[in-house]
Structures are given as structure tokens and as C-alpha cells.
Amino acid sequence: MSRSSGGPATVIIDTREQEPYSFDPRLATAVRRALPAGDYSVDGLEACVAVERKTLDDFVSTVIHNRARFREELRKLTGYQAACVVVEAGLIDVLQKRYRGDAHPNAVLGNALSLILDYRVPVFFCTTRQASCQFVQAYLLGAHARWNS
């Protein structure tokens, strides 16, 4: 792992991320480039720190209809020191079926729990896009501080 010079962290946003977060420029500089896994990482830690971001509709579609592809992504993340999935919705949104499609809430919840238990990659339901952005920023800055000190 790389060691940084101390200033703001450099957050890497994957080039495939369609709606990237904006981070506090006093705390992090953001650059876009391809990542091996996930949507966000930290410069120098791309092979060991990653966050996969999902809207609720995308999360439901992914865990119900695109499980095989998503599980391949999770297999990559299992080797990371810090990796998670962040959903821009609350668990109550799943349970109250506030998403498109016909998937039953129990199936969505069951698949989320399966990801956590099978791959040991936590899924964080962060209520809103703004809360998710704050969480991702704190997660990445925490990883940067931990492994670049």
C-alpha cells in the first residue's frame, strides 16, 4: 500500500459511475479512472478499499435479476481489506416495497443478507443519496487515514 504525504485524500471514482458523488474539496480531491472493483476507492488503495454504490431500484434489480454478475463483483471484493455496498435508501424502503419491479421485499432482504453472510461484504442502507455520499466520504477518508498514516 502506498503512503501519502498528508494532505487531502484522493478519491478515485470509477469511469463507469454514472452519477458520481461530490466530496468536500477541503477533505478529498476526486479523480476519475477505471477501478478493478467498486465505484469508489482511494488513490494507492484501489486493490484493497472499495465502495459499490446502488440506488434502491438498481440494488433490487441487481440482487434479483443480475445475481450472477453481481456475485462475481462481490467475489473480487471479498479479498479487499475494506469493501462495502451502499444503498441510497433505507431498509424501511425495501420492506415497504418503495422500488420498481415485482420482487417481494422478503426476497430482496434475503438476497441482501445472503451477500453479507456469503461474501462478508456489508450492505449499508443509508436512507438518501445525501446520507450515502456522507457515509462514502467518511468510509474512504477513514480507510485513507488508517492505511496511509
Banded model confidence at residue 52, pLDDT cuts 50, 70, 90: very high
Average pLDDT over the chain reads: 93
Specify the pTM.
0.93
C-alpha–C-alpha distance, residues 147 and 4, integer Å: 9
Residue 5 has pLDDT above 60, yes or no: no
Q: Write the single-letter amino acid at 123.
A: V
- What angle, 0 to 180 degrees and rounded to 10, lies between the N-to-C axes of helices 105-119 and 56-65? 80
Q: What is the end-to-end Cα distance of the chain in Å, rounded?
A: 11
Q: Specify the CATH number of the domain 9-147.
A: 3.40.50.10130
- What is the arithmetic mean of pLDDT over 87-109? 97
Instruction: Give me the residues paired with residue 31 across strands.
Output: 12
C-alpha–C-alpha distance, residues 92 and 98, integer Å: 9
The pLDDT score that the predictor gives to residue 8 is 82
